[in-house]
Amino acid sequence: MVTTTGSTNQHGLLTAQEMAQFVLDGYIEMDEPVPDELNAEVKNDAANQPKDARWTGLDLNAFWDHSEAVKEVHKLPQFQRILKGLMGAEPIQNHSWLHITPGGHRVAQQWHVDQDRTSVQLIGNEPWDFDILTLYFPHDVPREMGPTLILPGSHLRSVSGRDLGRYKNFSGQKHLSGPGGRIIFSHSLLWHCAQPNRSNESRYMFKIRYNPSQQQQGLFETTAPDDPDIDQYFRKNIGRHAWLTADNNTVAGRVREWWAYTNRQGASSPKH
Amino acid sequence: MFDPSVSEADVQMQSGDEDEPPYASVLDAMRDDWNVLQTPRLPENPTDFQTGHLLYEYVLQKFD
């Protein structure tokens, strides 16, 4: 395990509005992309890494250890600002992995939640701990290259991870296609799957799983418990995720409970 | 959807290949000549956040 250090806060704290969006959707995208030069270095490292390190499956930080550029990416202030707002000052890097999907790969991955979740319950658990998966796309990923597919809002549902494979498509599913240099911060329980790569080039995506090392309370720019802007935001977006249908109101209640917990100021303390 | 008319060399319906549902409702599918089988509702009354089987499940089948 690797503890991240050397970060800066020069971009300020994660805002309450950003955190509210994360609570609702289960993911947030980095607002300032990784510079092109760094992306190019990472892509070059990915294309030239030793094949044995890529496929052994035993060394879960093989690419992280191999590429200085990828370490630089994750030290960027715009990355650290969001990471620390979600996870606290010293999140633990549980593991990382470079996902490579060769061109012409026609088969999609099944919907799943990482670390098969057969009995874990998010909802109602105290404290409201969560892990973060960061998804870094070092190059442009148009739809035909099949970037990760996610289901916004799904992190608030309890599910047996493997059973998700039975589903194929949902209203509201989101393809993470777009330009290179994007990093998505995903709640660890967000439903997702890799997509076919119909292009002729390999697709690279670098993922890190972070564990919190403290309670996830008051880590962002907290606001008053009755902040009217946040209240209105949650009210306005109660039907944001069409696929939730009849459970919208129940999920909205849990959103409020989680918000009351995470927006509490001055309660952060190291985990036992 | 599992379609036996799709050749073995082709890919069946899979995650991410349709962003919009083909029909707004099961009734709409029936209007387009799909046969419908509603599976029995097994006795279970889960809360919203417990896992379990689907309570209202339909199987749609069509022969062209």
Query: With an 8 Å Cβ cutoff, are A168 and B21 in contact?
Result: no
DSSP 8-state assignment for residue B50? S
Every domain of chain B and the residues it spans: 1-64
Judging contacts by C-beta atoms under 8 Å, the chain A residues touching residue B48 are 247, 250-251
Q: How confident is the model at residue A49 (pLDDT cuts 50, 70, 90)?
A: confident
pLDDT at A11 over 80: no
Q: Does A125 lie at the interface with B, CB-CB under 8 angstroms?
A: no
* ipTM of the complex model: 0.78
As a whole number, mean pLDDT of residues A106-133 equals 72
Nearest Cα of chain B lies from the Cα of A106 at a distance, in angstroms, of: 7
pLDDT of A165: 82
Residue A173 above 70 pLDDT? yes
Write down the mean pLDDT value for chain B: 83
- What domains does chain A contain, in order, with CATH numbers? 2-262 (2.60.120.620)
How many angstroms separate the CA of residue A47 from the nearest CA in chain B? 27
| pLDDT recorded at residue A51 | 67
Give me the pLDDT at residue A8, please. 39
Which of chain A's residues have a Cβ under 8 Å away from the Cβ of B60? none
Residue A107 confidence (pLDDT) above 50:
yes
Among A144-148, A241-245, B40-44, the range with the most confident prediction by mean pLDDT is A144-148
Residues A40-67: what's their mean pLDDT? 81
Q: Give the whole-number percent of chain A exceeding pLDDT 90.
A: 64
> What is the pLDDT of chain A when averaged over all its residues?
85
Mean pLDDT score, B4-20? 90
